[in-house]
A = this chain, B = another copy of it.
Amino acid sequence: MQKTSETKVLRDPVHGYIHVDLQVVWDCINAREMQRLRRIHQLGGDFQVYHTAEHSRFSHSLGVYEIVRRMVYEIDSIAESLSDYGKAVVMLAGLLHDIGHGPFSHAFEDISPLKHEEYTVKIILEDSEIHRILANCDPELPNDVASIIRYENPKECLNQIVSGQLDADRMDYLLRDAYFTGTSYGKFDLERILRTIRLKDERIVVKQSGIHSVEDYIMARYHMYWQVYLHPVARSYEALLSIMFQRMKDVAKKDPDVLREVSMFHPFLFKKEPDIEDLYQMDEPAAFYGFSRLLYCGDEILCDIAYRILNRKLFAYKTIESEKDYTAICDKVAAMGYDPTYYVYRDAVSQRPYSPYSIQDNPHNILVLQEDGSIKELSEASEIVKALTRADLKEEHKIYYPIEHLANEDVRIKTKTHKDYKESTIWQLSE
């Protein structure tokens, strides 16, 4: 593989520096599809709770690449097992694994016919700047990189490095999201984990002496889920995005002319299979600008939801215990003049610190190398993790809905147009 003239380093608060010395990696970083990731937030709605969580998928992708790079160069058993080409393939897979993401993380997939992983593979294999860079370097490279994204590379450990349960992707996002939210929950001892990872029988394992750092990582993950990723205020924002996309789909069928000004959404509303160039253009600026156009589209629901998204007038939320609770809220929301189809949003979340996959040899399991050379699945090697996998964690059911009238407050006259919104005095917040 061709080297860059000198090692490029990019300062990064999480890893100190990102190091690049392969020309193909450097060219991919600077390709248009990669640069687009600067325009997509890493954490969909979390910046609504943690105001500094404004980092992009671009910086996360660099971080994943850096962890993969360290794994394939610094862990002797892995380094020795891989050729220079093999190392490049897995580093590129780490760098490119999120390249197919639409705006707002997962909410966008409600209207997208393809999942983000599918777009990632298409961008790598079809005619894109990324594809040309890869193919130009080695004709096999696009297929080999894509096989890791698909978790189908015959060299099992390559798949695991990029997306196992102790993979470069998760390790970067926990540390990065902790840094940018300003919470301490996601911190764990990356150095220690990297020092105890080994390649054993073609599988990624961690030495028993590193078990405490893995337990710490499992708990970091658990806490980040509850404190950040599943935070109800973030979910409330994501609920608005889902409702928005749902309403767009419904309007597209019934009254498409309403959507004439938001051409950026058209491929996903009207085309059978939007292509990679459609996705390229569908970044968050396009979506936000589209929302700002919907304020004037004439559809009351689209206008209201767009206003809420742009100006953080979020839904309130409530934990419900039964179906009855749910119906009661629907009734009240309807009584306020809102259509419960859109204005009552159900969400069920649960999160277990770690779940071993049932099949014994499932490659996603975290494996622990014992001192005698045998291998145990993590929950067998750690009493703490075993206990956690058995914890009786109930699903939480939450309902999100507008509270203005429910709260019986005087100001919130539901208004019909963006102009009215602007002129209504002051919104009261739902928190």
Minimum C-beta distance from A69 to chain B (A): 16
B292 lies within 8 A of A288 (CB): no
Minimum C-beta distance from A130 to chain B (A): 10
Q: A289-B286, A390-B387 are in contact. Are A54 and B51 (CB under 8 A)?
A: no
* Residue in B11, B180, B222 whose CB lies within 8 Å of A13: B180
Comparing A186-194, A326-334, A355-363, the segment that makes contact with chain B is A186-194
Closest to A183 in B: B11
Judged by a CB distance under 8 angstroms, whether A397 is at the interface is no
Q: A12-B51, A38-B47 are in contact. Are A185 and B216 (CB under 8 A)?
A: yes
A contact patch SS: helix
For window 286-334 of A, CB contacts with B under 8 Å fall at 286-289, 292, 310-312
* Residue in B185, B387, B390 whose CB lies within 8 Å of A189: B185
A62 lies within 8 A of B55 (CB): no
Minimum C-beta distance from A297 to chain B (A): 15
* Residue in B55, B277, B388, B427 whose CB lies within 8 Å of A388: B388
For A17, A212, A287, A394, which residue has the most chain B Cβ atoms within 10 angstroms?
A212
A223 to B219, CA, bound (A): 11
Query: What 1/0 flags go to A358-393 for Cβ under 8 Å of B?
Result: 000000000000000000000000011011101111
* Residue in B56, B227, B281 whose CB lies within 8 Å of A292: B281
Judged by a CB distance under 8 angstroms, whether A215 is at the interface is yes
Judged by a CB distance under 8 angstroms, whether A159 is at the interface is no
* Residue in B30, B32, B39 whose CB lies within 8 Å of A429: B30
Judged by a CB distance under 8 angstroms, whether A110 is at the interface is no
Judged by a CB distance under 8 angstroms, whether A229 is at the interface is no
A36 to B429, CA, bound (A): 16
Judged by a CB distance under 8 angstroms, whether A113 is at the interface is no
Minimum C-beta distance from A372 to chain B (A): 13
Judged by a CB distance under 8 angstroms, whether A132 is at the interface is yes
B58 lies within 8 A of A56 (CB): no
Query: What 1/0 flags go to A41-60 for Cβ under 8 Å of B?
Result: 00000010011101110110
Judged by a CB distance under 8 angstroms, whether A253 is at the interface is no
Closest to A128 in B: B422
Q: A31-B426, A286-B289 are in contact. List 7 more A-B contacts (CB 8 A).
A: A10-B51, A27-B429, A54-B54, A54-B56, A132-B426, A285-B286, A387-B392
Chain A residues within CB distance 8 Å of chain B: 9-14, 16-17, 26-27, 30-32, 35-36, 38-39, 47, 50-52, 54-56, 58-59, 62, 129, 132-133, 136, 179-185, 187-189, 191, 195, 212, 215-216, 219, 222-223, 226-227, 264, 277, 281, 283-289, 292, 310-312, 353, 383-384, 386-388, 390-394, 422, 425-427, 429
Closest 3 CB pairs of A and B: A13-B182, A285-B288, A387-B391
